[in-house]
Amino acid sequence: MSRFWKISLGLVLFAACLAGGAWIDTPLARWLDPEPIPGDLMRTIRFMEIYAHGFGVLLILLTVYTLDERGWRPLPRLLSMSFLPGLAVNMVKLTLARYRPNEYRYVQKPYSFEETFVGWFPTFNLPEEIATDHTIQSFPSAHTAMAVGLAMGLSIVYPKGRKLFLFFAVLSGMQRLTDHAHFLTDVIVGAGIGFCVSKLLTRESGWLERTWRKWESGPETASEAVTIPESTDEMTDRRAA
């Protein structure tokens, strides 16, 4: 399959997920309101915020620096792929304001998908004390974007753990839902942005990817000198002499 068709198929699947998410957005938020997930599982999901939080990501990178024999060399990739998707999402938050699900937790009347959005460009169209309030910064999820970027970066550095890193990213997205911080569409779009930014950063033909690979391969070491053993005849002649 060509690159064009792969991108097209990915966009179609993303649009389908987004449309499905919009359909179940508010019903899912209302279903999660009484916290129907069992206690131990809920605590595990909530703990996974560390995988999507800036300070938690720094702790993970500190662990990489401590345990990986290459030291700092994997860190530029992991730092970029973790924090740049989160930065991109925060830029999107400035263009479209949306209430978080926890703003509706104690509202008895039903609310629709459209009612959760406040409007475009809140910085210019809303009072200053409201425009910068985190309660209207639900769309999209920066935590999810960071978790996806980190998972993709770790999968490149440590390919054997790819499925585990992806699983952690999924749990991080679930944490945003169960804590009533985001709607499902916020998580889907955040994951999509995290994926797209990470793919741009790791293009095979890009100078950034080539630079990261050069750093991660470690310093070039001089090849060991090869000593050619003496032939058996020469050793026999020396002993006879």
Q: Which tens digits make up the pLDDT trace of 194-229? A: 999 999 999 887 899 999 999 988 765 333 333 444
Q: Which tens digits make up the pLDDT trace of 54-107? A: 999 999 999 999 999 999 999 999 999 999 999 999 999 989 999 999 888 777
Residue 132 backbone phi and psi in degrees, to 5: -100, 10
**DSSP for residue 167:** H
Euclidean distance between CA atoms 185 and 217, whole angstroms: 39
List Cβ neighbours of 234 (8 Å cut-off, separation of 6 or more).
Answer: none
Matching residue, tokens 């004390």: 129
Tell me if the domain spanning 38-217 has CATH number 1.20.144.
yes
- Beta-carbon neighbour count of residue 209 at 10 Å? 15
According to the model, what pLDDT value does residue 36 have?
77
Question: Closest Cα partner for 77 from 169, 218, 220, 211?
Answer: 211
Question: Closest Cα partner for 173 from 199, 154, 138, 148?
Answer: 148
* CB 183, CB 142: distance < 8 Å: no
* pTM, 2 dp: 0.84
Euclidean distance between CA atoms 115 and 128, whole angstroms: 21
